[in-house]
Every structure is written in C-alpha cells, then in structure tokens.
Structure 1
Amino acid sequence: MVATHAVVSGLFVTLNDLRAAQDDMRGAISETHRDQARAAIVFTAAGIDACLRTLLRDSLLLAEGPAHGAFVSHFMSERLKDKVTEATKKAVVDIDPRAALIDLYVKDLTDSSIQGSEDLAKCRNALGLKKDPVLDDSILESHQPFFDARHQVVHELDLVDPSGKGTRGRRHRDIAAVGEQCDGALHLLHAFIAPTARAAKQAQRDMGWSES
C-alpha cells in the first residue's frame, strides 16, 4: 500500500509540475495531462489487487482466526463438493498443500483482478470482516465508479464512439475527481488492512505466540 501511495502521489506531483510549466495555467488541460490521471487510476487499482491478494495469503498463515474459517468453508462448499478438479487434486498432493490451496483460494476470490464491489465483498467476507461497518455493502458499492473507470482505461483505452460523424473520441477525465477516487480507494484499502492486522495479532496471542 505504501508503494502504491508513493507511485500515485508521484503521478499527481508530475501532473502539477506539467501544469505549472504551461504559459497559461488557465488554459485547457491537454490529453497528455489527463493521461497522468488515467495512469493514476491504473496504478491504484493494481495496488489494490496486489495488496488484497497478499492480505488474503498472509491472513491464512495462521491456522486459526476468522479468515481460516472462511477458507475451510469455501473448499467444503466449492472445491471439495461433487467432482474435484485437477487443480485441486494437484494442490492437495503438492509438497506444501496448504500454500497451494491458499493460492487456489486467492485465485477463486480475485480471479485476474478486483473488478468492483462484488469482488471487494468476497475479500471482506474471506477476511472475516463482514460485520465491519466501515466495509458495509453500501460503502463498497460507492467505489464501483472507480473500478468502472479502471476497466474503461485498461480495456477500452478510454475510447468512446462519437454521437455523430468523426473518429472515436476519449472519455473526459476530470483530474480533481480522479484524485478523489484514487484517494478514496486507498483509504478503503486501509480499512481492509487495519482490522486484519488486529485479528492476526489476536490469533497469535490466542495461540500463545510472542508478538516479538
């Protein structure tokens, strides 16, 4: 998360520097400047993907705690029900079965990337944070526009069909709005990290592990 924040902050610093170098800062913002904002969306989303995957894996290093219960429930109801897939069989006989099963679990929850509020809810529930008011469904849903923007930038290059004659245009990106979206997404990520860290420490204490 720290690295993501540093990269995204650096993009906005560069954007501000480019704007300051203009002869007239009151002039229209160029597509080059807006591309900095688009890059900020992509980097922020990538940081969320990486951080949540790491958080899910780290939360399962301990065989106790709320995350472990969700892990067991998922395999009993999904991967170990009816016909067992080849991927599951290979994980079970792996030299480190738990690590291999955790990798499958994280893949099931996040797929190729976090696409929006539904995936965020899956991660929240997997971490045992379903009742956390800061991660309420309505709060997660309020961040859907950010993920929609990431999809538009990455998969569509922000291109839109013109309403009349002409070539395809690009979606307008309000730089201030993008900054607020990225900032909000990073604050949301902190809401996942803080309680998960507390739960891990409590599980360690319950198991008699020293925090040192």
Structure 2
Amino acid sequence: MSEPAKSNGKSRLTRVELAELPRKPHGCPTEVERSWARLVATHKSVSGLFTTLNELRAGQDDMRGPISETHRDQARAAIVFTAAGIDACLRTLLRDSLYTLLQLPGDPHGAFVASVMSNRLNGELTKATKQAVVDIDPRSALIDLYVQDLTGSSIQGAADLIRCRNALGLKKEAALDEATLKRHQPFFNARHEVVHELDLIDPSGKGTRSRRHRDIAAVGAQCDGALQLLHAFIAPTARAVKKARRDMGWSAT
C-alpha cells in the first residue's frame, strides 16, 4: 500500500509500504512452520526494497519530479522478490502439509488421486513416475511429483493458485474464491514481463525498444496483496493440519 508523507501540512512524497502481516497461526504445526518462515522472510525483503525506494526518492532534489528508471527498477525487483516468495511459500506449504492431509479421506485426497491417475498413471509411465513407484517411500515420492505438477517451475497465475487451493482442500475458503484469485493475475503478468521480457515493450530485438511504465504505487499494492494472499493460504492450512492430527490421534505439532 502507499501513503503520502507530509511536511508542513503538504503532501510531498507518496511512500510505498507493505501492510503488516496478520499474526502467525495459533499453535502453528510443524508442517506449516517452514512456509510461514518463508512468508516472513519475503515480507521483510520486499519491505526493505520499498524502504530503499522511498529513501532514494526522498533524496531527490525535487521530489515532485519524474520517477527515474532507477526507482522503477526497485519496484521491478519487488515484483521479482514477491513472486519468488509465492513460489517458495506455496511449494513448501504443499510439500510439508500434504503428507499429513493425505492420511485421511477428504478433498485433498480426492484431488491427489484424480491428479496422479490422470497425469502420472494414465498411459505409459514416465521415468520419474516409475522411480517414485519403486522408491523406498513411494507415497512421499508421488507427493513430490504431485507438487511438481501443481507448481511447475513457478506459479504462473490464477489457474495455478486455484490448483494449489484445491490440492490443500481450501475450495470453500471465502478469501480464496476464484474471483479473488483471478484479481491477482495482473501481478503475475507483470512478473512475466519483468523476468521473461526484461520489461521491454518490444522484446523482438528490432528497432527501438523502450521499457514498460511501472506505476510504483500500483506495484506496491500488487506486492502487498500477493503477500497477504499467502497468509490466506497458510492460516486455513494450519487449521486443517491440526484437525487431521487430532483425528488421527497425533500430537498437536
């Protein structure tokens, strides 16, 4: 989010800052601890980028002047850091929590079976699938392949978020409804443009190329929303894992 910094009652500089993360889930189980730690680390890193951006802009001779490409590069870096955090948090959340969630029948188990049957056990088996089947712990190996199928090399957009949500059994969570998840697609589009197209309007290599305009306040809002969304994944997963543990008679953590 962003807010104007004021001096003598006059707004001089729009500061870009992240909102604080909600509190860590109460009694956070071990299956969710690593994902939470990655979210906290990502939030700290992106906050630091925006702090540096604010300081650079405050040091300008004329803070009302145009925003330089150097400043916009800080915003681009924030997009990349936030996207990397999304990948790390969700991949870790899936890998660590699914082993517990899949011990019992329910939505996560149904999604797992449907995916493995259609993507891994349909037709000729891939080498990776064969290795998983004969692994000393085939269930864990298949879960690892399942996570790879869900996330790919990185989370690319709303469709991937929806698959991750369904895999965790969070389809009924109001904060993760499809309309909400689709509203984050512009953030992923921006990440693609920054990382894969170097933010060039014409990446073909022909003629004059210019960089896309990045509205710093809009970037701040996108990164902030994406990090808050990760909490919306983590908190209900923590509750689901704790419930599964109770149902199986395991210890709380």
Contact 2:99 2:143 in 1 (8 A): no
In 1, distance between residues paired with 2:140 and 2:197? Answer: 36
Q: CA deviation at 1:161?
A: 2.9
Match for residue 116 of structure 1 among 136, 157, 179: 157
Match for residue 73 of structure 2 among 19, 31, 35: 35
Residues 145-156 of structure 1 aligned to structure 2 (within 5 Å): 145-156=186-197
Q: CA deviation at 1:102?
A: 1.4
What is the aligned partner in structure 1 of residue 10 from structure 2? none
In 2, distance between residues paired with 1:97 and 1:111? Answer: 20
Q: CA deviation at 1:77?
A: 3.0
* Greater share of residues in helix: 1
RMSD: 1.6
Q: Does 1:127 align with 2:165?
A: no
Contact 1:8 1:44 in 2 (8 A): yes
What is the aligned partner in structure 2 of residue 186 from structure 1? 227
In 1, distance between residues paired with 2:76 and 2:233? Answer: 24
Q: Deviations over 1:105-161 (max 9, x none)?
A: 111111111110001101011111112221111111110000000000000111013
Contact 1:67 1:126 in 2 (8 A): yes
What is the aligned partner in structure 2 of residue 106 from structure 1? 147
Q: CA deviation at 1:166?
A: 6.2
Gaps of 5+ in 1: none
Match for residue 15 of structure 1 among 42, 53, 72: 53
In 2, distance between residues paired with 1:128 and 1:83? Answer: 29
In 2, distance between residues paired with 1:161 and 1:87? Answer: 39
Contact 1:57 1:103 in 2 (8 A): yes
In 2, distance between residues paired with 1:146 and 1:106? Answer: 22
Contact 1:92 1:100 in 2 (8 A): yes
In 2, distance between residues paired with 1:93 and 1:52? Answer: 27
State percent identity of aligned pairs.
77
What is the aligned partner in structure 2 of residue 24 from structure 1? 62
In 2, distance between residues paired with 1:168 and 1:73? Answer: 46
Amino acid at match of 2:124: K
Give the TM-score taking structure 2 as reference length.
0.79
Give the TM-score taking structure 1 as reference length.
0.94
Contact 1:59 1:67 in 2 (8 A): no
3-state secondary structure, aligned to 2:251: coil
In 1, distance between residues paired with 2:152 and 2:188? Answer: 15
**Number of positions where the alignment pairs a residue of Structure 1 with one of Structure 2:** 210
What is the aligned partner in structure 2 of residue 93 from structure 1? 134
Q: CA deviation at 1:50?
A: 0.7
What is the aligned partner in structure 2 of residue 56 from structure 1? 94
Contact 2:246 2:252 in 1 (8 A): yes
What is the aligned partner in structure 2 of residue 169 from structure 1? 210
Q: Deviations over 1:160-208 (max 9, x none)?
A: 139xx96200000010000000000011111111111100000000011
Q: Deviations over 1:85-108 (max 9, x none)?
A: 221110111223222211111111
